[in-house]
Amino acid sequence: MIEDIKKDAKTRMSKALDALGSNFNKIRTGRAHPSILDGIHISYYGSDTPLSQVANVTVEDARTLAVTPWEKNLVPDIEKAIMKSDLGLNPSTAGSVIRIPMPMLTEETRKNFIRQARGEAETARVSIRNIRRDALAEIKALEKDKQISEDDERRAGDDIQKITDQYVAEVDKALAAKEKDLMEI
């Protein structure tokens, strides 16, 4: 039973770490990367469709993305969706290809992105601690129901704390890498 609780906690904590990674991908670093456009949806035949399902997004050079829609009539819709997004990007269309130059990041913008990244990291840490709390509560309930001994409860609590520390360290490592990436010019 204790192993199941630990395994469940690990699984949930790794999901929190994955969510942090996808949130970090939305914070742009000044370099072109297709994942920057992951949150953009286009109305395609009446349904909201992710951009990656209606167009090919490629990196032309270090500072430019190229979006090639599969249907030419989607070009204006895609352009509008990119402009409406809160990414601060200004696409330019050349025929059926939409080019998106990545603007240079100012010092103030970098600091705001770092602040945003730290907020995302703190959210992930809180999520991991909540998972720890839930796991410890489950173990406490097992001990209260006399299904495990006090020693087993204490050992399991220590193990869960080690797992928590490990995942919090992963969050800190990811945050440090993102901050370093953001400060590069």
pLDDT digits (tens, 9 = 90+) for 63-121: 888 989 988 888 888 888 888 887 778 888 888 888 888 877 788 888 888 898 999 99
pLDDT at 30 over 70: no
116-141 pLDDT, tens digit per residue, is 899 999 999 999 999 999 999 998 98
Confidence of residue 60 (pLDDT cuts 50, 70, 90): confident
Mean residue pLDDT across the chain: 87
Of residues 85 and 12, more confidently modeled = 12
pLDDT for residue 131? 93
* Phi, psi dihedral angles at 47 (to 5 degrees): -125, 150
Mean pLDDT across the stretch 47-64? 86
Give the number of other Cβ atoms within 10 Å of residue 92's Cβ.
Answer: 11
Looking at the whole model, is its pTM more than 0.75? Answer: no
CA-based torsion, 60, 66, 68, 72: positive or negative: negative
Chain centroid to Cα 59, Å, comes to 20
In the chain, the percentage of residues whose pLDDT exceeds 70 is 98
pLDDT for residue 119? 92
pLDDT at 29 over 70: no
pLDDT for residue 35? 78
* Dihedral (Cα; 137, 138, 141, 147), 10-degree rounding: -150
pLDDT for residue 161? 93
Cβ–Cβ < 8 Å for 174, 17: yes
